[in-house]
Structure 1
Amino acid sequence: MTKLSEAAYLGRLPDVRMSFQLLGLHARKVDSRWTYPSHEHSMYEIHWMMDGEMNMVVNGQLYKQSVGDLLFIRPGMTHSCTCAGPQGFTYFSVHFSVHDTSFCRELNRCKDIYYPADSALAQGLSSSLSTLYNLATEHLSSPLPASKQMRVHAAVFELLGSLVGQLSQTTSITLSRKESIARQIAEQIEDSVRYIHLHGEIQETERTWIQDIAKSLNLSPSQVNRIFRQVYGRAPRKFLSETLLNEAQRLLKQTDLSIDHIAMMLGYKTNAHFSRQFKRWTGIAPSEFRIHSQQPSAAGPDHPDY
């Protein structure tokens, strides 16, 4: 009798499917008269001080930045800046957006904005920021070759990984029972999207899907909906739609898969159904979104240059 071969995993990592945009990354040296007016945008911003001193007002709170100090500004926060010394200052700014609900949840756990130069977060991010700064100065005089572009991607992933790691260590927030339950619901929703992505179908009705989540948490469906709304401000079904939209945008931006194929991967029976739903979410068709995402972004409210 032939003996069947055996195999065992020695380790395994989850699939990596993250959609992010790096926008408005630049270093600038300004004089003492330079100011930037109050504004807000839909991106995260890391503002790193390299020389001199400046004042940044974030949501009405004044922060004075010196060399090495870092500000982490979240989407929707109103902020403005002025020089705080007679010699001007030099800063490095990174704006980014991430279409990943679990990642954004970690970014938003800690509400601190200002991190001094000797803080663990500022020191933990300094290496990646320095790498990006050096690449940015090279890009000013000539286009970056493909090899340098990959170094930008590597530095960005290192930066995001360090940012989440440091925030999770420094945060002192203790989740309430309600917040803990809502997070478990969110994780199950994200798992369901991963299932759809792998199997290309939704096998259950919305009602059964909510009932299964409720049963796993020993709650009623009405409790699941109520708790999730109280913590996340929207229904679980809307959260699922947003997660599907983020995955659709990632696939349209980062792959060459046909729209038919993407629709199938996300559980839609027809391209037409997917296109109607995508347009209802975003206001434009998937084909238009793909074209726009491949065009260089113009400077504007969501592509800051300060």
Structure 2
Amino acid sequence: MKKGVVILQKFISIPTIESGLYMFGGHQRTVNGGWSFFEQRHQVFEVMVVVDGYQLTEIRDQSPMDLGPGDAIIIAPGTFHTNRNASKTAPMTYMCLHFDFEDIQLRSRIISLISNQLIPASSQLAKASQKMLNGIVKLCRNKSLSSDFSIQVEIEILLLKYLKQVNSLIKDKYSHNSSLPFSNKEAQISRDLVIAIENRVNNDDEKPSFNFSDLCKELGISSGYGHRVFKKVYGTTPLHFIDREKYKKAQRLLEYSGNSIEEVAYMVGAANVSIFSKQFRKWSGYSPSEYRKQVIKKRSVRSKNQTGYFE
């Protein structure tokens, strides 16, 4: 080896990952004959599996679906739907979970290809859905432990493994882009819009308040076309996606920064603190100050000598 020659060592890059995993309203429930739940919609996914009995699921502008034992359904964000016990007399047991996550491509594929349709009990997807929900229900049987950190991690692992399996099943079944209801050009435009939104929301050097039409103008497209394509690819409106990014930023600032609530409101583009507080409560169920107190409480750690906080 010549003197002074530097041999480049193998470099392995570890990707930046922000899963943004979120879940709520999960439960297993047995209901009486004649039970029904009013029409509703969520801005997240909902997976349901019937354990025993028969459930009638009605999605607006679609034919009703009759789900039997082991059958499943994944309801897409923003979908108006009604669930009821198909029997007037016999009980029914079901499991469900509302959830959301960051990966835009998997979100769009679930919405476009497998959501809002009956998933037969014999299919791998229904079996995977039931296995995941069974595992979570089992972990939550002891209410006193369900808020324990290790249990919550186990629940997150089950959901992440499920999403990995869903992604694999979709790739196996839909291996070509021709199966998707949007073109490569539409997918690229939508992705460019996502990047532009994320940059505007998270770059503190930019004006915190902006319009979707401004981003479309920068990309050389009309706002009407941008809205249609975005909704087509991602199954949600650009406005909802912008709100979602602002909420994530507000969460981070309230959790980890020393900024006042007034400063956080400005940094996410709210017109004033009152509007920000109302919107944040709509997002999280807490006011900004209540949310910050909850976070501090969860981050509190005790030792033999003192109580402290970790970052």
Superposed pair shares fold, TM > 0.5: yes
Shift of 1:202: 5.4
Over 3 Å counting, the alpha-carbon distance change for 1:197 and 1:96 in structure 2 is same
In the alignment, is residue 107 of structure 1 matched against residue 114 of structure 2?
no
For 2:128 and 2:156, how far apart are their aligned partners in 1?
18
Please say if residues 51 and 66 of structure 1, whose CA atoms lie closer than 8 Å, have aligned partners that are also in contact. yes
Shift of 1:151: 0.5
Please say if residues 19 and 103 of structure 2, whose CA atoms lie closer than 8 Å, have aligned partners that are also in contact. yes
Residue 30 of structure 2 aligns to a residue whose secondary structure is strand
Residue 283 (structure 1) aligns with: 275
Shift of 1:246: 2.8
Shift of 1:295: 8.5
For 2:47 and 2:192, how far apart are their aligned partners in 1?
31
1:174 counterpart (168, 179, 185) = 179
Residue 53 (structure 2) aligns with: 52
Percent identity, please: 13
Give the aligned CA root-mean-square deviation in angstroms: 4.2
For 1:165 and 1:279, how far apart are their aligned partners in 2?
43
Residue 278 of structure 1 aligns to a residue whose secondary structure is coil
Residue 40 (structure 2) aligns with: 40
Residue 247 (structure 2) aligns with: 249
In the alignment, is residue 188 of structure 1 matched against residue 187 of structure 2?
no
Residue 115 of structure 1 aligns to a residue whose secondary structure is coil
Please say if residues 18 and 250 of structure 1, whose CA atoms lie closer than 8 Å, have aligned partners that are also in contact. no
Over 3 Å counting, the alpha-carbon distance change for 1:208 and 1:129 in structure 2 is closer
For 1:46 and 1:272, how far apart are their aligned partners in 2?
34
Query: Which structure would you say has the larger RCO, counting Cα contacts within 8 Å and 6 or more residues apart?
Result: 1
Over 3 Å counting, the alpha-carbon distance change for 1:295 and 1:152 in structure 2 is farther
Shift of 1:193: 5.6
Shift of 1:50: 1.4
Match of 2:275, as an amino acid?
Answer: G
For 1:209 and 1:85, how far apart are their aligned partners in 2?
52
Match of 2:96, as an amino acid?
Answer: S
In the alignment, is residue 258 of structure 1 matched against residue 257 of structure 2?
yes
Please say if residues 112 and 180 of structure 2, whose CA atoms lie closer than 8 Å, have aligned partners that are also in contact. no
Structure 2 unaligned blocks of 5 or more: 282-286, 295-311
Over 3 Å counting, the alpha-carbon distance change for 1:77 and 1:242 in structure 2 is closer
Residue 304 (structure 1) aligns with: none
Structure 1 unaligned blocks of 5 or more: 214-220, 264-269, 297-306
Shift of 1:116: 0.9
Over 3 Å counting, the alpha-carbon distance change for 1:92 and 1:69 in structure 2 is same
The C-alpha deviation readout for 1:250-284, integer Å capped at 9, x for no partner, is 243367221759x9xxxxxx867424x1358x932
Aligned length: 272
- 1:267-278 correspondence to structure 2 within 5 Å: 273-275=266-268, 277-278=269-270
Please say if residues 55 and 84 of structure 1, whose CA atoms lie closer than 8 Å, have aligned partners that are also in contact. no
Residue 283 of structure 1 aligns to a residue whose secondary structure is helix
TM-score (norm 1): 0.69
In the alignment, is residue 116 of structure 1 matched against residue 116 of structure 2?
no
- 1:157-168 correspondence to structure 2 within 5 Å: 157-168=160-171
